[in-house]
Structure 1
Amino acid sequence: MAFQGEHARVWLLIDDRAGNRSQVLGVARALGLPFEIKNIEYTAAAALPNYMLMASFSMLTQSCRVNLAAPWPDIVIAAGRRTAPVARRIKELSKGRTYLVQVMHPGSTGEDDFSLICVPRHDGMGEAENRFTMTGAPHGVTAESLAEAMQKWGGTFDHLPSPRIALIVGGDTKRKKFTPDMARELGAQAAKLARDAGGSLLVTTSRRSTPEATAALIDALGDVPANVFKWGDDGDNPYMAYLALADHIIVTGDSVSMCSEACATGRPVYIFAPKKMIAHKHAKLHQDLYAQGFARTFDGVDSLQDWSHAPLNAAFEVADELRKRLGLDG
């Protein structure tokens, strides 16, 4: 490449999906180069398949297009299918000079335009010169971000008895449902573990948690001491604080990002993954995490065990690979 270290011009394409944002920022921060965020706003045309959109800004709002202008960057880091035509158009306008890094597979259309495509191992994709496989998903949960959360929230949950168990709850996915019955089962088992240990629960739900599943989960907690933050509640979301302060973590297996972020803490992680809730690819991720010692199944757990593991964050795997390919020091 023609640039050296801090002189590289790096753009992050950040769209409206929180998971995409977390992965792109995680990689950029792990890489350690200065970067500029380009907020991506779509029109209805973004729903069209990429083979129709090609390398284009045509699915972007006018105000968004205005902010994508020369001088073109040396590196673009993006995530998800919808950003792929935008990244490819930037490379086209730069006369092929821009190095494109895409987290998650962008689809077969224009795949060769990307310099590095970072795909989870559980996707089961084959080898390719521009493809890099990783465990789980990149994210921004690091020792530094956990320390910041601990400082910000330290003392907030001191009234809750230890051990404190974070219960991180997702919800419905495209093809699978997180039903009220599943939520009730999860809540009851987590409450029993907390009660038997003389501890408490730190509970948070997500955007995909339905009101019915959320109500069933909370009802099943009974009188166990708990702090509960439901998606949409007022105030700051204590998600990072829960990860930082929990002695144990229980996470639903519907989200690659949530499982990966839980495993970044080094704390005991249990994954709740009923077959009817979990897609095949997610089940493959869970088996990978179990095999490498990052997590254990929540199925049949009747008491909490104290154990630890190395923190997991694919952002550092991707950043190391990028440094190698770009010839950057350290």
Structure 2
Amino acid sequence: MDYNSNSDKKPAKLWILADDRPGTFSQSLALAQALKIKYEIIKIDYNFFSKLPNFLLKLYPLHFNRNNLKQLVEKTINNNLQPQIIISAGRKASLIGIFLKKKFEKTKLIQIMQPEINYNKFDIVILPNHDKPKYKKGNILYSVGALNQINPEIIIENKEKFKKIFNKINQKIVVLLVGGNSKKNYYDKKSVIKLCHETNNFVKKLNCQLLILNSRRTSPEITQLIKKNINCQNIFFEWDKVKNNNPYLASIGFADYFIATGDSVSMISECCSSGRPVFIFDQKKISSKKHRIFHQELYKNGYAFPLNNIENYDLKSFYNMINELKVSKLNEAYRISKEIIKKFNIH
């Protein structure tokens, strides 16, 4: 268990429980930054018991080192440094959050994503709209997609870092973001070829520069298919080659248009937070029913648009379609933070 404070020597008022899942940690960090409260990152290491379902772990949480956590609790209480808020995200961290809340009676516990345990154990549970339960509780806040860290400061910082690459481009930029296979969904050859076909048509009609970024989940087979079937001018930032110096956040700042595959809620949410047009490519095999509910919510509210049959547009009608788009900017971390500040009477 590791501890990391974000600024000065004053005690942190907020703890982020950070585990080995980047997606859950990213949402927790986004909310903490939006709340503008001094935070401390509490890194959690799980053992093999973490694979057990929560209905078993809630009886006796065996999936983390309780001795380390008890030492942290004792030190915190002895020095009167109990946090005002704890943020947990995902089912595994939720039980650790509950354990800590029992020790710190006045601490508020915020859970992001499904905890797979009774919602009443938390002060606030943040769920995406596409993941709504059949019943409603007063402590649930709903978000459009995933909370994310896209804000002017982080974009400016990353644009400056990668400006030598992007400043050489004198055309408008289309960024293609590619996900990959998951437990329930997969990319078949036909879908990848169709993605490339739609992307080629989009880029050529607008005479843009294409940047391609894949992800951890993108298999070598998908990557090779994309390389083989994209026939417009492009720069491919392969995840394996740039993972230690990834221009992903810079690309969000420099992009004029996005094409994103429909399987990643976090990736799409980050694109929609840019305020630029986002086109979602989706096929049934790529994404789940929940993903498609999410897409429809974005389409309905002008955050994103479907990428379909670009070849059917002539050049004039395509330009007209692009120029008439009314794009809404997603900023859920900020919106949710305002509700929490009001609910908890912070500041």
Instruction: Tell me the distance in 2 between the aligned counterparts of 1:286 and 1:175.
Output: 18
Give the corresponding residue for 1:230: 238
**Cα displacement (A) at 1:299:** 1.6
Cα pair 1:183 1:214 within 8 Å, conserved: no
Change (3 A) 1:287 1:67: farther
Cα pair 1:203 1:229 within 8 Å, conserved: yes
Instruction: Tell me the distance in 2 between the aligned counterparts of 1:229 and 1:67.
Output: 44
Percent of matched pairs sharing the same residue: 31
The superposition leaves residues 8-31 of structure 1 with CA deviations (integer Å, 9 ceiling, x where unpaired) of 721000111111111000000000
Cα pair 1:41 1:64 within 8 Å, conserved: no
* TM-score under structure 1 length normalisation: 0.91
Question: Which stretches in structure 1 are left out of the alignment for 5+ residues?
Answer: 1-5
The superposition leaves residues 292-326 of structure 1 with CA deviations (integer Å, 9 ceiling, x where unpaired) of 00100012234461445342122112211110111
Match of 2:21 among 9, 17, 21: 17
Match of 2:63 among 44, 59, 64: 59
**Cα displacement (A) at 1:276:** 2.2
Counting matched residue pairs gives 321
SS for the counterpart of 1:156 is helix
Change (3 A) 1:68 1:124: same
The superposition leaves residues 67-112 of structure 1 with CA deviations (integer Å, 9 ceiling, x where unpaired) of 7424242211111111011001001122x322110111201x2421
The one-letter amino acid paired with 2:26 is S
Instruction: Tell me the distance in 2 between the aligned counterparts of 1:73 and 1:53.
Output: 25
**Cα displacement (A) at 1:159:** 3.4
The one-letter amino acid paired with 1:43 is N
Match of 2:177 among 165, 168, 171: 168
The one-letter amino acid paired with 1:138 is L
Give the corresponding residue for 2:197: 188
Cα pair 1:160 1:226 within 8 Å, conserved: no
SS for the counterpart of 1:267 is coil
1:41 matched to 2:45? The reply is: yes
The one-letter amino acid paired with 1:311 is K
Cα pair 2:12 2:40 within 8 Å, conserved: no
Give the corresponding residue for 1:78: 88
Instruction: Tell me the distance in 2 between the aligned counterparts of 1:243 and 1:219.
Output: 25
Give the corresponding residue for 2:341: 323
Instruction: Tell me the distance in 1 between the aligned counterparts of 2:306 and 2:38.
Output: 39
Give the corresponding residue for 1:274: 283
Change (3 A) 1:67 1:197: farther
1:216 matched to 2:225? The reply is: yes
Give the corresponding residue for 2:120: 112
Instruction: Tell me the distance in 2 between the aligned counterparts of 1:187 and 1:241.
Output: 23
SS for the counterpart of 1:214 is helix
Name the one with the larger helix percent. Answer: 2
SS for the counterpart of 1:228 is strand
Match of 1:259 among 252, 268, 292: 268
Change (3 A) 1:149 1:83: same
SS for the counterpart of 1:328 is coil
Instruction: Tell me the distance in 1 between the aligned counterparts of 2:267 and 2:73.
Output: 35
Instruction: Tell me the distance in 1 between the aligned counterparts of 2:115 and 2:292.
Output: 22
* TM-score under structure 2 length normalisation: 0.87
Q: Provide the aligned C-alpha RMSD in A.
A: 2.1
SS for the counterpart of 2:303 is coil
The one-letter amino acid paired with 1:319 is S
**Cα displacement (A) at 1:188:** 2.6
**Cα displacement (A) at 1:328:** 2.0
The one-letter amino acid paired with 2:34 is A
1:152 matched to 2:161? The reply is: yes
Instruction: Tell me the distance in 2 between the aligned counterparts of 1:187 and 1:161.
Output: 23
Instruction: Tell me the distance in 2 between the aligned counterparts of 1:145 and 1:82.
Output: 29
The superposition leaves residues 251-273 of structure 1 with CA deviations (integer Å, 9 ceiling, x where unpaired) of 11111111110000000100011
Question: Which stretches in structure 2 are left out of the alignment for 5+ residues?
Answer: 1-9, 77-81, 312-317
Instruction: Tell me the distance in 2 between the aligned counterparts of 1:18 and 1:205.
Output: 16
1:89 matched to 2:99? The reply is: yes
The one-letter amino acid paired with 1:193 is F
SS for the counterpart of 1:233 is helix
The one-letter amino acid paired with 1:19 is G
**Cα displacement (A) at 1:63:** 8.6
1:293-312 mapped onto 2 (5 Å cutoff)? 293-302=302-311, 303=318, 305-306=322-323, 307=325, 309-312=327-330
Change (3 A) 1:159 1:219: farther
